[in-house]
Structure 1
């Protein structure tokens, strides 16, 4: 697979990976090995970053679109993410509330669908 795909599956920012990773291809066996026994560079990236948008969004409890609305377009380190959590700017407060509403609505729809499925059986 392409290095970009492997980096996404590993949850790391491709540009921060070693050149040998970015320039080659990654087999399924290699990906599995990286996941089960991560080398030092992978453990360091996962721990301290920089992190890709999907990881930043998950750590902040917002959507990727919410990050963009908040002006966060670049990868962030763990330290920067922690600083945002401490600051807790208005955009983050608003996006977390939006994300909570989305999850609540999703749960309501799943419950409704389960009721309909049970009634139809």
Structure 2
């Protein structure tokens, strides 16, 4: 990896763009700036460590929330405060604890309301 400059990014930024949990990445990735070209190469032809992380985790909170069908705030309310592996996520989905069921219902209601408001705005824009 290369030195920081205007065309490079911090490892945390690169990990976010790759949708991976930074502490689970190799030390070389964590300790060096990543250029845009290196990021593009990782996206186009991911090395085995990146494929494994994307498949098995641990996953960052945004992906955990998406896989569970809830918000990131819902994770916090469910006392999930760390990254989770795919296996742990699958186990939660199989067990269906009460907090997860409630959070999924709440999240779906929020999404329905967002769609309703978007449609309302679209209708108002057409009438104008």
TM-score (normalised: structure 1): 0.98
- The match for 1:72 is 80
Give structure 2 stretches of 5+ with no counterpart. 1-8
Inter-partner Cα distance in structure 1 for 2:105 and 2:39: 36
User: Do residues 56 (structure 1) and 35 (structure 2) align?
Assistant: no
- The match for 1:96 is 104
Inter-partner Cα distance in structure 2 for 1:88 and 1:11: 25
- The match for 1:12 is 20
1:11-42 per-position Cα deviation (integer Å, ceiling 9, x unaligned): 11000000000000011111111111100000
Inter-partner Cα distance in structure 2 for 1:91 and 1:20: 38
Instruction: Report how many residues are paired.
Output: 120
Displacement of 1:67: 0.3
Greater fraction helix: 1
TM-score (normalised: structure 2): 0.93
RMSD: 0.5
Displacement of 1:69: 0.2
The 5 Å alignment of 1:22-61 reads 22-61=30-69
User: Do residues 87 (structure 1) and 95 (structure 2) align?
Assistant: yes
Give structure 1 stretches of 5+ with no counterpart. none
- The match for 2:6 is none
